[in-house]
Amino acid sequence: MATVTLTQQNFQQVVSANHIVLVDWWAGWCGPCRHFAPVYEASSELHPEIVHGKVDTEAETALTASAQVDRFPTLMAFREGLLVFNQAGFLPAADLEEVVQQVRWLDMDEVRRQMTGLLQAEAQGQPAAPSAPPRTAGPAHGPARYGWPGL
Protein backbone atom coordinates (compact mmCIF):
# COMPACT_ATOMS: atom_id res chain seq x y z
CA MET A 1 0.00 0.00 0.00
CA ALA A 2 1.34 3.40 -0.90
CA THR A 3 1.50 6.23 1.56
CA VAL A 4 -1.55 8.47 2.06
CA THR A 5 -1.32 12.26 1.99
CA LEU A 6 -2.83 13.67 5.18
CA THR A 7 -4.27 17.18 5.35
CA GLN A 8 -6.21 19.31 7.80
CA GLN A 9 -9.38 18.06 6.09
CA ASN A 10 -8.77 14.30 6.31
CA PHE A 11 -6.38 13.81 9.26
CA GLN A 12 -8.97 13.09 12.00
CA GLN A 13 -11.06 10.88 9.75
CA VAL A 14 -8.08 8.73 8.70
CA VAL A 15 -6.73 8.40 12.26
CA SER A 16 -10.10 7.52 13.78
CA ALA A 17 -11.26 5.16 11.00
CA ASN A 18 -8.19 2.90 10.95
CA HIS A 19 -6.79 0.45 13.51
CA ILE A 20 -3.14 1.57 13.18
CA VAL A 21 -1.94 4.75 11.49
CA LEU A 22 1.67 5.87 11.19
CA VAL A 23 2.22 9.52 10.35
CA ASP A 24 5.43 10.94 8.89
CA TRP A 25 5.69 14.72 9.38
CA TRP A 26 8.21 15.95 6.78
CA ALA A 27 9.52 19.09 5.11
CA GLY A 28 10.94 19.42 1.60
CA TRP A 29 14.06 21.26 2.79
CA CYS A 30 14.87 18.57 5.40
CA GLY A 31 17.73 16.23 4.47
CA PRO A 32 16.87 13.53 7.04
CA CYS A 33 13.27 13.63 5.75
CA ARG A 34 14.49 12.81 2.24
CA HIS A 35 16.53 9.89 3.61
CA PHE A 36 13.60 8.61 5.68
CA ALA A 37 11.10 8.75 2.78
CA PRO A 38 12.23 5.49 1.05
CA VAL A 39 12.43 3.68 4.42
CA TYR A 40 8.86 4.78 5.19
CA GLU A 41 7.65 3.86 1.72
CA ALA A 42 9.19 0.38 2.07
CA SER A 43 7.37 -0.04 5.40
CA SER A 44 4.09 0.88 3.72
CA GLU A 45 4.70 -1.88 1.15
CA LEU A 46 5.69 -4.39 3.83
CA HIS A 47 2.64 -3.60 6.01
CA PRO A 48 -0.32 -2.85 3.71
CA GLU A 49 -2.74 -3.38 6.64
CA ILE A 50 -1.29 -0.29 8.38
CA VAL A 51 -2.06 3.17 7.05
CA HIS A 52 1.16 5.08 6.39
CA GLY A 53 0.25 8.76 6.20
CA LYS A 54 2.47 11.69 5.31
CA VAL A 55 2.01 15.33 6.27
CA ASP A 56 3.82 17.99 4.24
CA THR A 57 4.51 20.43 7.08
CA GLU A 58 5.11 23.34 4.70
CA ALA A 59 1.69 22.93 3.08
CA GLU A 60 -0.14 21.99 6.30
CA THR A 61 1.12 24.62 8.74
CA ALA A 62 -2.06 24.74 10.85
CA LEU A 63 -2.16 20.95 11.22
CA THR A 64 1.55 20.89 12.05
CA ALA A 65 1.11 23.58 14.69
CA SER A 66 -1.89 21.85 16.26
CA ALA A 67 0.14 18.61 16.48
CA GLN A 68 3.00 20.57 18.06
CA VAL A 69 5.50 19.23 15.55
CA ASP A 70 8.61 21.38 15.31
CA ARG A 71 11.37 18.89 14.40
CA PHE A 72 11.60 16.88 11.21
CA PRO A 73 11.07 14.17 10.40
CA THR A 74 8.68 13.30 13.21
CA LEU A 75 6.98 9.92 13.34
CA MET A 76 3.70 9.45 15.18
CA ALA A 77 1.79 6.22 15.63
CA PHE A 78 -1.90 6.05 16.42
CA ARG A 79 -3.68 2.89 17.48
CA GLU A 80 -7.46 2.85 17.75
CA GLY A 81 -7.41 6.65 17.42
CA LEU A 82 -4.99 7.18 20.32
CA LEU A 83 -1.49 8.61 19.98
CA VAL A 84 0.83 5.88 21.27
CA PHE A 85 4.20 6.93 19.82
CA ASN A 86 5.75 10.29 18.97
CA GLN A 87 9.43 10.72 18.11
CA ALA A 88 11.41 13.19 16.06
CA GLY A 89 14.42 12.14 14.02
CA PHE A 90 15.47 9.72 11.32
CA LEU A 91 14.69 6.06 11.98
CA PRO A 92 16.59 3.30 10.19
CA ALA A 93 14.46 0.51 8.70
CA ALA A 94 15.07 -1.89 11.61
CA ASP A 95 14.02 0.75 14.15
CA LEU A 96 10.88 1.60 12.18
CA GLU A 97 10.01 -2.10 12.06
CA GLU A 98 10.47 -2.29 15.84
CA VAL A 99 8.03 0.62 16.28
CA VAL A 100 5.50 -1.14 14.04
CA GLN A 101 5.75 -4.35 16.08
CA GLN A 102 5.57 -2.53 19.42
CA VAL A 103 2.44 -0.66 18.33
CA ARG A 104 0.87 -3.95 17.22
CA TRP A 105 1.63 -5.60 20.57
CA LEU A 106 0.42 -2.80 22.80
CA ASP A 107 -2.10 -3.73 25.48
CA MET A 108 -4.71 -1.10 24.60
CA ASP A 109 -6.82 -1.84 27.68
CA GLU A 110 -3.82 -0.89 29.83
CA VAL A 111 -3.18 2.22 27.71
CA ARG A 112 -6.80 3.33 28.21
CA ARG A 113 -6.63 2.66 31.97
CA GLN A 114 -3.52 4.78 32.27
CA MET A 115 -5.02 7.58 30.18
CA THR A 116 -8.20 7.54 32.27
CA GLY A 117 -6.13 7.77 35.46
CA LEU A 118 -4.16 10.71 34.08
CA LEU A 119 -7.31 12.53 32.99
CA GLN A 120 -8.99 11.97 36.36
CA ALA A 121 -5.94 13.26 38.25
CA GLU A 122 -5.80 16.29 35.98
CA ALA A 123 -9.52 16.99 36.47
CA GLN A 124 -9.03 16.90 40.25
CA GLY A 125 -6.15 19.35 39.98
CA GLN A 126 -3.62 16.79 41.15
CA PRO A 127 -0.31 16.30 39.44
CA ALA A 128 -0.36 13.06 37.56
CA ALA A 129 1.86 10.47 39.14
CA PRO A 130 4.40 9.15 36.69
CA SER A 131 3.59 5.63 35.75
CA ALA A 132 5.39 2.94 33.91
CA PRO A 133 4.75 2.84 30.19
CA PRO A 134 2.19 0.30 29.07
CA ARG A 135 3.61 -3.17 28.86
CA THR A 136 4.62 -3.93 25.36
CA ALA A 137 5.99 -7.06 23.82
CA GLY A 138 8.29 -9.11 25.94
CA PRO A 139 9.76 -12.54 25.90
CA ALA A 140 7.56 -15.25 24.51
CA HIS A 141 6.26 -17.88 26.90
CA GLY A 142 8.11 -21.18 26.89
CA PRO A 143 11.73 -22.08 26.49
CA ALA A 144 14.04 -19.68 24.71
CA ARG A 145 15.28 -21.02 21.40
CA TYR A 146 18.19 -19.47 19.61
CA GLY A 147 19.99 -20.42 16.45
CA TRP A 148 18.89 -23.03 13.98
CA PRO A 149 16.03 -25.34 14.97
CA GLY A 150 17.27 -28.31 16.86
CA LEU A 151 20.47 -26.67 18.09
133 domain-assigned = no
Interacting residues of 45 by C-beta distance below 8 A, sequence separation 6+: 1, 2
11 domain-assigned = yes
113 domain-assigned = yes
> Per-residue confidence of the chain (151 residues) as pLDDT tens digits?
689 999 999 999 999 999 999 999 999 999 999 999 999 999 999 999 999 999 999 999 999 999 999 999 999 999 999 999 999 999 999 999 999 999 999 999 999 999 998 888 888 887 755 555 444 444 444 444 444 444 3
Domain encompassing residue 50? 4-117
Number of domains in the chain: 1
Question: Is 67 in a helix, a strand, or coil?
Answer: coil
123 domain-assigned = no
Q: Report phi then psi at 111, rounded to 5.
A: -60, -45
The residues carrying an active-site annotation are 30, 33
In the chain the beta strands, taken as DSSP E runs, fall at 4-5, 20-26, 51-56, 74-79, 82-88
Tell me the pTM.
0.80
CATH number at residue 65: 3.40.30.10
